[in-house]
Structure 1
Amino acid sequence: MLLTIAHDTRYHYGQPAWLVVQALRLWPAPSASQQVKSWRVEVNGKLLPSTGVDGFGNPVATHAIDRQISDLHLSVRAQVRTLDKSGVHGEDAGGLPPMFFLKPTPLTLPSPGIIALADAAAGEGGGLECVHRLVNAVRDQVDYVSDTTHAETSAAEAFAAGTGVCQDHAQVLIAAARHLGYPARYVSGYLCPMEVGYPAASHAWAELFVDGLGWVGFDPANRVSPDEHYVRVACGRDYRDAAPVRGLRRGGDDETLDVSVNITQLAQTSQ
């Protein structure tokens, strides 16, 4: 598929901010499942290229505004050709070893309930069948309900509440998979609507390291592995490592945030 992405994030401060510093992970890391035709990030209309790569292989940049502002606009404009690899990302050239992604983080500590769910899935046999059972078990336990969690909600908290969004599904799956000995990591990106009437969105899923295949993506929110509808951007141990935007500010009280994502599928011509 040939996709165009328009992603706008707008901050408005009721009281002006006089210092804003943000670390951005808004550029895609290399992936066999996608070919980036163009990718442009702007901050208040000014081009911001990525300036480095973090320890997880994600292109990153940091920007700072040290004057009074009431509005801040981040925009992404991109065109990407995607391929269906059945979720298989494969090996990371020069990346962190898979075993690094076995250690829990504060957001992915497994609760007794998550451990019980994981053990039940493993008890019916291992391999990919076990992982697919685990994906469905996570989705069965955590219903998709927006505005019931936030960026700092842990896997244990979302599991206990029984509600959450794609970020929570991914982190519960990661916690359960690590308990079973599967290296697991968090992935952020975009999801093009699979059916008419469904909105485009920023999205999150998980990748597990499976012997013989390497890293394989699983999206428990939709009970599928990522296909050509997905654009992969960043990865890490949990949400904090792969968040598109993280930052701090001074001033800027009464902040409001508006995010819009539009993804269009273009007709592809034969080469």
Structure 2
Amino acid sequence: MRIRVSHEIIHRFAPPARTVNQILRLTPLSFDSQYVLRWRIDVDADGALRETEDGHGNAVASYSHHGLIERLAVSAAGEVETGDAAGVVRGAVERLPAEMYLRESPFAHVNGALRDFAAEASKGAADPLDSMHRLMTALNETIAFHPDEKDAAGSPVEAFALTRGRARDFAHIFIACARFLGVPARFISGYRVAGEESEKAGAHEWAEVHVPDLGWVAFDATVPICPDERYIRVAVGFDGQDGAMTRSAHSGGEEKIETAIRVEQAGAQSQA
């Protein structure tokens, strides 16, 4: 599937900000089932834009502006060719051993309730892959998906207690439970073309786990499926803190952010 993406983020500051610093993980990379045909990041204000790679192997653009500024627009756009690999990720850049993704992280940790849930969900599983499929299904049946949830939970523990959450909450709960079960797991941010009526096109977040013989396999418990050709994988992290596509900091002024994302199959119309 050929997917076209347009992602614009507008920051407004009142009064004007004195400095702005941004970390942009907005560039997808190619691997066996994902080929980046073209991609471009633009920032409409003067400043220093530096392209690097982080510890997870993500392409990172760091931007900084010093001096009064009222408005800043960041845009990412391009086309990506994808294929359905049943969630299996092969040929991707790997900078860390899988075992590193077993450690707890700020937004992916468990309590007693999550330990009990993970143990019950995986009971009787034939192998780690079966265990993860059972965990994904149980999570989908237990937590209500609220993509537009305003009061986002701060941790998987909170989201599980509320029994509702956004895609990020589903990913964090899944990751925390997988690690408790001894399966390396990590956070993924990217884009998705609309599927069923309840599946909106736009930015999305899910998880990957490392299983014997297959390597990294993606799981989206909000659906629940292993991501297919409708997904574009962009950034990897221990959780949503270092796996987010954008992070911004500024000094002075109140910030308002407007975001417009369009994700569509080339030749089709689907918008979010």
> What is the TM-score with the length of structure 2 in the denominator?
0.91
The equivalent residue for 2:85 is 85
- Alignment deviations for residues 19-55 of structure 1 (CA, whole Å, 9 cap, x no partner): 0001111111332221101000111278997611111
User: Contact 2:33–2:90 (CA<8 Å) still a contact in 1?
Assistant: no
The equivalent residue for 2:15 is 15
User: Contact 1:41–1:47 (CA<8 Å) still a contact in 2?
Assistant: no
Report deviation, 1:140: 2.1
- Alignment deviations for residues 203-229 of structure 1 (CA, whole Å, 9 cap, x no partner): 000000010100000001110111010
Distance 2:253 2:4 in 1: 33
Distance 1:187 1:178 in 2: 15
Aligned ranges for residues 1-271 of structure 1 at < 5 Å?
A: 1-44=1-44, 51-90=51-90, 92=92, 94-127=94-127, 128-145=129-146, 146-150=148-152, 153-195=154-196, 199-253=200-254, 255-267=255-267
SS at match of 2:131: helix
What do you get for the CA RMSD once the two structures are aligned? 2.1
- C-alpha change, 1:218 and 1:197, in structure 2 (3 Å) is closer
SS at match of 2:26: coil
For structure 2, the residue ranges without an aligned partner over 5 or more in a row are none
Report deviation, 1:195: 3.9
Bigger mean CA offset, 20-29 vs 83-92: 83-92
- Alignment deviations for residues 101-148 of structure 1 (CA, whole Å, 9 cap, x no partner): 001112111121111111002222242222111001112222112224
> What is the TM-score with the length of structure 1 in the denominator?
0.92
Report deviation, 1:99: 0.5
- Which amino acid is the alignment partner of residue 15 of structure 1? P
- Alignment deviations for residues 206-256 of structure 1 (CA, whole Å, 9 cap, x no partner): 000010100000001110111010000010100011111112110121x22
User: Contact 2:12–2:256 (CA<8 Å) still a contact in 1?
Assistant: yes
- Which amino acid is the alignment partner of residue 149 of structure 2? D
Identity, % of aligned pairs?
Answer: 34
- Which amino acid is the alignment partner of residue 235 of structure 1? V
- Which amino acid is the alignment partner of residue 250 of structure 2? R
For structure 1, the residue ranges without an aligned partner over 5 or more in a row are none
Distance 2:231 2:37 in 1: 15
- Alignment deviations for residues 132-180 of structure 1 (CA, whole Å, 9 cap, x no partner): 1100111222211222444x71111111111110000000000000000
The number of residue pairs the alignment matches comes to: 266
- C-alpha change, 1:45 and 1:225, in structure 2 (3 Å) is farther
User: Contact 2:110–2:157 (CA<8 Å) still a contact in 1?
Assistant: yes
